[in-house]
Amino acid sequence: MNLEEIRKSFEEGLSKLDELIEELKSERNRLKAEIESKLNQLQLNFIPEELESFLEEPYIIMPRRKDEFYVIVPKFINFHIGWLERQTKSYNIFVINRYTQWLQPLPEELKKKLQFPDQPPFKVIDGILFTSKEYQDEAWRKYRKYLSKREGDDRIRIKKGYEFELIAKLIEDGILPFIPQPVDKINLREWDGIKLRDYQKYAWDEFIKKGAIGIYWAFGAGKSLFGIYALARIKGRKLVVVPTRTLIEQWKERIVKHIPEYINEIDLITYHSYHKVSKNQYTLVIFDEVHHLPANTFIRLSTIKTKYRIGLSGSPFREDGRENYIFALTGFPVGTTWEELLKKRIVREPTFRVYLVKDRGEKLKKLGELLKIPSKTIIFCDSIELGKTISNKFNIPFVYGETKDRMSLIKESQTCVVSRVGDEGISFPEIERVIEVAFLAGSRMQESQRFGRLMHSQKREPEHIILMTEEEFKRYNKRLYAITERGFGIEVVR
């Protein structure tokens, strides 16, 4: 390209930028006029200059606790960040903290206002806290309960058995205390059975450079396939740790399908079976659905002897606020936004509908009406007694704790009832509809897991339906924030 062509290209770019600026100004003026018109209709007095200020900064930032803030935004603004704590009729109230910026970029204006303080460059490896000479006294004073003795003027020995707790505390203070430990070439082999997408390639490169990562992608974005890819590429003994026996079945199925030649290298256990592998040594451990670990389990699992670690989760946020445990167990966080995945059509956007009914009998009646419309459906029901009732009434199978071959039964059935054992990680591209009949109170985590099943769907318009009584809606509508915080709308039908 010669100089003249570069000049023309530059001028065209500036012209397009000018057009975009004019469009934004026009849209801002339109919005302002619309708000003014509405205020006048309501016969409300308002100060035009203050309206101008509102349009420049249409949000409120309020401290919640140390290094954590509320961001309060009017609902009519399509803006979502961090963790949606609650909603009013007209406002979304989000919570953001240090972890938010590790997973998604914060708008520059917000970053300036939040001003998270810089933290000392503390690092932990092999039972030693590296502090640098400048910060050793501060580290000794602040983290004394976890520390044994100073070694030289830039490091401190950690008390035996306290390394994980110290890492969790450092993360809570906003410090990522990990030292990258690149994957050794002798632990790698060639394998090209799965073609990685761009963001998966980025995550793999991060893993190769750092040796320990937590992957936080939307449901259906390919976390498990990334795990399979890692199991294939890393030599030696590997371990996959999952929350439920249902997920063990699914991992077995994927391993047999994609990497049968490596099946004898891989152990599969639930989180409760730590004692079975506590003395083993592994090249790689994968922690699946890591956000559901009970707090006391993290410390035990952190003692598994492994060279490399990968954590997989649809969300690092926990309802008990112990996100620091997740990062401490898995390593450097790698995230991507829902907007990006939806835009690329990597995950599907379901339609969401809540039907409000009088009582349980009305729930069953409404369920019967819905089942007259044929589609591949999972009915989630936490109550074993109600699940059996639905199974008998509509002559469909019920999958719960005592059911054998759960995955096969779900896959082969056009419609089936599934208890809480199906909340986590099950992935069927044929699913067209999820119906919730009974659920765990206001649990947002459960709600996100359940609608996440539809993110795996290859159908064009998957549907998520929740049957609630008016009383349940009043008491437990907090669980619906799991949907609205990601920018999805919900139709409520009475």
Give the global pTM.
Answer: 0.69
Nearest 5°: phi and psi at 78?
A: -80, 80
Core vs surface per residue 384-393: b (16+ CB within 10 A) or e: eebbebbbee
Q: How far is CA 196 from CA 65, 204, 401, 454, in A?
A: 40, 9, 35, 21
Structure tokens at 471: 């009383």
Cβ partners under 8 Å of residue 400, min gap 6: 384, 387, 418, 419, 421
The verdict on residue 366 lying in a domain is yes
Indicate whether 337 and 192 sit together in one domain: yes
Amino acid 6: pLDDT: 47
The verdict on residue 467 lying in a domain is yes
- For residue 131, with 0-12 CB atoms within 10 Å meaning exposed, 13-18 middle and 19 or more buried, which class applies? buried
Indicate whether 233 and 167 sit together in one domain: no
**Quick check: 87 and 94 in contact, CB under 8 A?**
no
Indicate whether 353 and 455 sit together in one domain: yes
pLDDT digit string (tens) for the chain, length 494 residues? 444 554 555 455 545 555 655 665 666 667 667 666 766 665 566 666 666 677 677 788 888 877 788 888 887 777 777 777 777 778 888 888 777 777 777 777 777 777 777 788 899 988 999 999 999 999 999 999 999 999 999 999 999 989 988 988 888 888 888 888 999 999 999 999 999 988 899 999 999 999 999 998 877 778 889 999 999 999 999 999 998 888 898 899 999 999 999 999 999 999 888 888 988 999 999 999 887 676 677 777 887 889 999 999 876 666 666 777 788 888 888 876 656 666 666 666 788 999 999 999 999 999 999 999 888 899 999 999 999 999 999 999 999 888 887 788 888 899 999 998 877 656 777 888 999 999 988 887 788 778 877 776 777 778 899 999 999 998 988 888 888 877 788 889 88
Indicate whether 311 and 222 sit together in one domain: yes
Cβ partners under 8 Å of residue 296, min gap 6: none
Sign of CA dihedral 376, 427, 410, 358: negative
Indicate whether 281 and 384 sit together in one domain: no
Indicate whether 145 and 5 sit together in one domain: no
Sign of CA dihedral 349, 351, 354, 360: negative
Residue that the structure tokens 């509809």 belong to: 433
Q: Are strands 68-74 and 60-65 parallel, antiparallel or unpaired?
A: antiparallel
**Quick check: 329 and 205 in contact, CB under 8 A?**
no
Indicate whether 219 and 241 sit together in one domain: yes
**Residue that terminates a domain, selected from 342, 362, 390:** 342
If one counts the domains in the chain, the total is 4
Amino acid 18: pLDDT: 57
**Residue that terminates a domain, selected from 342, 366, 381:** 342
Q: How far is CA 361 from CA 76, 365, 378, 393, 467, in A?
A: 37, 6, 20, 12, 11
Structure tokens at 121: 């460059």
The verdict on residue 85 lying in a domain is no
Indicate whether 338 and 377 sit together in one domain: no
Structure tokens at 105: 């970029």
The verdict on residue 89 lying in a domain is no
Strand order through the sheet with 83-87: 60-65, 68-74, 91-97, 83-87
Indicate whether 24 and 127 sit together in one domain: no
Indicate whether 411 and 488 sit together in one domain: yes
**Quick check: 240 and 251 in contact, CB under 8 A?**
yes
The verdict on residue 446 lying in a domain is yes
Indicate whether 357 and 335 sit together in one domain: no
The verdict on residue 447 lying in a domain is yes
The verdict on residue 118 lying in a domain is no
State the helix-helix crossing angle for 3-41 and 48-56, rounded to 10 degrees.
Answer: 130
CATH number reported for the structural domain that contains residue 359 in this entry: 3.40.50.300
Indicate whether 401 and 463 sit together in one domain: yes
**Residue that terminates a domain, selected from 56, 77, 101:** 56
- The whole domain housing 276 covers 185-342
Beta bridge partners of 91: 74
The verdict on residue 200 lying in a domain is yes
Beta bridge partners of 242: 270
Q: How far apart are CA 440 and CA 332, in angstroms?
A: 31
